[in-house]
Amino acid sequence: MTKQEKVNFVINTLEELYPQVKIPLEHKDPYTLLIAVLLSAQSTDVGVNKITPILFEIADNPYDMVKLSIEEIREIIKPVGLSPMKSKGIYGLSKILIEKYNGNVPASLEDLEALPAVGHKTASVVMSQAFNIPAFPVDTHIHRLMYRWGLSNGKNVKQTEKDAKRLFPKDLWNKLHIQIIWYGREYSPARGWNLDKDIITKTIGRKSVIKAYYKNKKTT
């Protein structure tokens, strides 16, 4: 297969498996999505989805959020981890949104990345899923699969994002990055991986990855 044929196979397979996609994090608007994505750093979406209803019942907008103290926010979000940093970030960005953006989340990657505790991936998710502006956020699933599929060298997430944007059509980015995440969770996880069920990797995957999988399978 040529690289373009591999790309087409990925697109077509994912579209068959996931014709409709939903972002894994529960939210209702750009602000609640921003907070949810921020909370998901080094945590699971399941864990975040258990905490956000509690937090958002009290404060689902920046004006109500700043009425809470950093300590109060931290106490609520403690189960998702990194609560000292995240609570300061939530309070700080909420204050900035009020002071600088009239309480609205800016639809600008640069403005989002300038907010406390908001990195490139978080900003990219908000751009793509809240504002439908093409972006390709790369999480651990996408980074892993792009390497397994031989579509990126796995050097770092920045390079993986660059490769994904170069290979996949721009009008598919917003849907495709969610499709890859769901596929990674269901068919190509980091642990408990069964290559026989992972049709994409089995068909187009990097030879060294497939060889290592079967070698490891024989020794376990």
Residues that are catalytic = 121, 139
Distance CA 79, CA 64 (A): 21
Given a contact cutoff of 8 angstroms between Cβ atoms, the answer to whether 82 and 117 are in contact is no
Give me the residue label for tokens 């990674």: 184
Given a contact cutoff of 8 angstroms between Cβ atoms, the answer to whether 126 and 30 are in contact is yes
Provide the CA 156 distance to its chain's centre, in angstroms.
15
Q: Which of 124, 136, 143 is nearest to 166 (CA)?
A: 136
Please compute, for residue 165, the number of CA atoms within 13 A of its CA located in the half-sphere on the CB side: 12
Backbone region of residue 37 per phi and psi (left: phi > 0; alpha: psi in -120 to 50; beta: other values): alpha
Distances (CA, A) of 146 to 135, 139, 165, 181, 209: 16, 11, 12, 11, 12
